[in-house]
Amino acid sequence: MLKWQQWNRVARRLLWALVLVGVIASIPIAANRWQMEKTSKQVEFVFDYSDLVLVASYQAKPAEFIRAELEKMKAAGIGAMSVFESRLDELETAGRLSLYDEAEAALLQGMPVPADQNYTYVLFEGTREKQVYEPIIRERFENDAGIPVRAWTLKGKQGLIIETPLPDAVLKTMNPDPMALEQLNQAGFQLVPRLSDRIAYDQQETDTMLAWFKELGVTRILFDGEAVKGFNEQANLRSLDGFAELLNKYGIGLASIENLKKPQLGLNTLAFKTHYNVARLYSLSDKDAAALKPDVISDRFLLAAKDRNIRMFYLNAGPSANLDKGMITNPLDNLYTSLAGTDGAVEKLDRAGFPNGKAEAFERTQPGWHKALKAVAAVGAVGLIALMIGAFFGVLTIPVFLLGLVGSAGLYVLNSSLMEQALALGASISAPTLAMIWAINRIYAHTDGPRRSVGGEWSRNGTLIAQGADATFQVSPWSGMLGGLGQPGSRWIFHGLSAGRRLSMALVMFAFATLISLLAVPIVIGLLNSITYSLVLQQFRGVNLLALAPMGLTAIYLFLFTGGSVWTSLRRVLGLQITILWVAAAGVIGVVGLYYLSRTGNSGTAPAFELVFRNILESTFGVRPRTKEFLLAHPLMLLGLFLALRYRAAWVLLVIGAMGQLSIVGTFTHIHTPMLVSLIRVLLGLGLGTIIGLALIAIWQIGEALFRKFCKKGKAAVHG
């Protein structure tokens, strides 16, 4: 057993060396990503043309209204228009044709309603409309759906009879409106067609459509619905493969919508086959466009471009009935104000290095040596995990490392992406946990001694057998409640270190613990260096586990693995008498924990007052530091380190301090955030947190001095 322990000690030194080698190997990969993040800077503002048509339908002169608003949009900085695939009812709203059901058609013709048929009747607005839309309608209904279509005229106007009921006819999706695309192209707008998978895929027709798009200057398309075009027929027709070939042939890329409830099916496959010619898109809803103030909208766009690699901004604007004004209103003017002017989004983004133009994909390179360096980073991650487990159970250090290597190799063969994510999560949890364990052990070495009990031994009946007459070796009433923190007979106040010495030691321990936590950052970057993470086609997994595990492991180590036998501490904790106070405390901790988890990750929501505070931080520093780091975790960790060198009970503050250490690593697991932004965010959090922590220490020292002075006066009054 002694020999195995010696091997473990040697193994730990070797594992730390492997971790450092993994960190060094990850630096070139991180540098490559740093360069990639500088390549795509132009942003593009895209307006939903169907919304403009809908808003115009509530105006007295729709066509004139559309022309005027298009000029305003160009002036405000909107350079692109999104055009959906068309439906008959939308073409009617746009003024291309008129629709009638069986009863309405009979009334127009002065005839009785037929009892045995229920057809759809179409009248084109003019000759040009008939030439453009009749082939599209016949293709969709006759060829695709097998529904008969025949000619129809009424009072000199040309039309069609579609032998299906009107409610069914308006559900059929057709290709984008050709006249709308031509009109917008002539007006100088970049076009962003929105395609769906509702039309049966045909390679020749798709080729013709994309060739036409290319002539109109289309460089990027957006998908509508839950799947990309060609997804449903991939198994039979290899339609995704064919569609990707055509996109590459015409140099047309994709747009990926941020924060969809469910990712669009087939997008990852299509992105891969188009060599990740993808730009991320943020969609501003029509409700937000109407409700938010212009400065809030512009700040939101700036934050999206700077923090989340967003390069396309999609603007929606629906009409709404305003009873107070007695009219139909729309948010168009509010959008123009949010975009134009020195305080508008266009100028703000330009000043931040994001000029208005065409959104472009990131330029990336994947040198062959990346794989070798990633393998070294993986070994470093396994080493970190083994060191963390070994900190609790030293005998497991070598077996865990060997099993980790074998398991990682096997998982790589089955699913390399899952292996990388698992190791990244393990390293992210291990580094902050090791940092906190190191800090706890350093405090222990400067107070109780190098991991050994201080105080008297206990007899079988629980009576303290004193070693001398030192009054400091007294049993604290908290000893049973705090498990390993309160080993029977252990000291609760430690003398010998001055306040200045404790402060310098606390600052050094805080800095060194942070460096240990940061060891995970380059390893995570090295493992998750794929463009898919920057585009959020894949995401770091285990956000909630990372948010809890280091804190929980720190608490376990603190209560069970310090000062004595683990099993003794565990039995003491399990033998605690549960009181109402304990139940209430557990309830409060549970509520706080649930709130903490609800705020973790990309889906978390913040209350209004915090959003205001965030905006203040963003405008003040340019990059917003994490609130939980600089206002809570870092200050309390620094205060905890300072106090723990004198008061044993202060050690519990280190559990909260672990939140700051894990958050440092967690910041860099948001791969879609540029590395420079994450680095600035962490440094700001550390700097501000240190300042606030020093202020808390000063307040504590002042309060402690006043308390002592008050106690002396009280004693003097009693003796006097």
Q: What is the pLDDT of residues 37-82, one digit of tens each?
A: 999 999 999 999 999 999 999 999 999 999 999 999 999 999 999 9
pLDDT score recorded for residue 563: 60
Domain identity same for 19 and 143:
no
- Domain contains 569: yes
CA distance 210 to 219: 10
pLDDT score recorded for residue 623: 83
Residue at token pair 């409309």:
129
Token code pair at residue 612: 């205001």
pLDDT confidence tier of residue 562, bands split at 50, 70 and 90: confident
pLDDT score recorded for residue 648: 85
Domain identity same for 554 and 641:
yes
Q: How many domains does the chain have?
A: 2
Contact between 118 and 102 under an 8 Å Cβ cutoff? The reply is yes
- Domain contains 79: no
pLDDT confidence tier of residue 585, bands split at 50, 70 and 90: low
CA distance 387 to 380: 10
Residue at token pair 């505070």:
613
| pLDDT greater than 80 at residue 687 | yes
The pLDDT of 540-569, averaged and rounded, is: 83
Domain identity same for 585 and 686:
yes
Contact between 278 and 535 under an 8 Å Cβ cutoff? The reply is yes
Q: Which residue has the higher pLDDT, 471 or 168?
A: 168
Domain identity same for 616 and 708:
yes
Domain identity same for 107 and 28:
no
pLDDT score recorded for residue 636: 93
pLDDT score recorded for residue 399: 92
The pLDDT of 414-418, averaged and rounded, is: 92
- Domain contains 420: yes
Alpha helices (H) in 327-415, listed in sequence order: 332-339, 345-351, 369-392, 397-414
| pLDDT greater than 80 at residue 716 | no
- Domain contains 578: yes
Which pLDDT tens digit goes with each residue over 274-296? 999 999 999 999 999 999 999 99
Element (H, E) at 325: none
188 Cβ neighbours under 8 A, 6+ residues apart: 74
pLDDT score recorded for residue 485: 56
Please provide the average confidence, as pLDDT, over all residues in the chain.
Answer: 87
131, 156, 172 - which closes a domain: 172
Token code pair at residue 108: 């127009």
pTM of the full structure: 0.86
In percent, the amount of the chain with pLDDT more than 90 equals: 70
Domain limits at 625? 2-37+366-459+469-716
3-class DSSP state for residue 368?
coil
* Among 373-377, 446-450, 704-708, the least confident range: 446-450
Domain identity same for 499 and 643:
yes
Kindly provide the b/e burial profile for residues 328-365, where b requires at least 16 CB atoms within 10 angstroms of the residue's own CB: ebbbbebbbbbbbbeebbbbbbeeeebebebbbbbebe
The pLDDT of 218-232, averaged and rounded, is: 95
pLDDT score recorded for residue 607: 58
Length of the chain: 720
- Domain contains 67: no
pLDDT score recorded for residue 614: 64
Domain identity same for 529 and 446:
yes
CA distance 549 to 434: 12
pLDDT confidence tier of residue 102, bands split at 50, 70 and 90: very high
Which pLDDT tens digit goes with each residue over 604-648? 455 555 556 666 776 667 788 888 899 899 999 999 999 999 998
Domain identity same for 569 and 449:
yes
- Domain contains 124: yes
pLDDT confidence tier of residue 348, bands split at 50, 70 and 90: very high
Domain identity same for 127 and 15:
no
Domain identity same for 15 and 163:
no
pLDDT score recorded for residue 576: 59
Pairing of β 457-458 and β 120-124: unpaired
Domain identity same for 17 and 153:
no
149, 172, 195 - which closes a domain: 172
Q: CB count, 10 Å around CB of 570?
A: 15
Element (H, E) at 523: helix 520-527
pLDDT confidence tier of residue 471, bands split at 50, 70 and 90: very low
3-class DSSP state for residue 152?
strand
- Domain contains 300: no
In percent, the amount of the chain with pLDDT more than 70 equals: 85
- Domain contains 508: yes
The pLDDT of 205-232, averaged and rounded, is: 95
pLDDT score recorded for residue 400: 94
Domain identity same for 448 and 507:
yes
Which pLDDT tens digit goes with each residue over 417-468? 999 999 999 999 999 999 999 999 999 888 876 543 333 333 333 333 333 3
The pLDDT of 354-365, averaged and rounded, is: 94
| pLDDT greater than 60 at residue 307 | yes
Report in angstroms the alpha-carbon separations of 268 from 81, 322, 664. Answer: 25, 42, 29
The pLDDT of 229-251, averaged and rounded, is: 95
Q: Which residue has the higher pLDDT, 502 or 475?
A: 502
Which pLDDT tens digit goes with each residue over 193-202? 999 999 889 9
CA distance 7 to 399: 12
132, 154, 172 - which closes a domain: 172
pLDDT score recorded for residue 713: 73
pLDDT score recorded for residue 651: 87
pLDDT score recorded for residue 479: 46
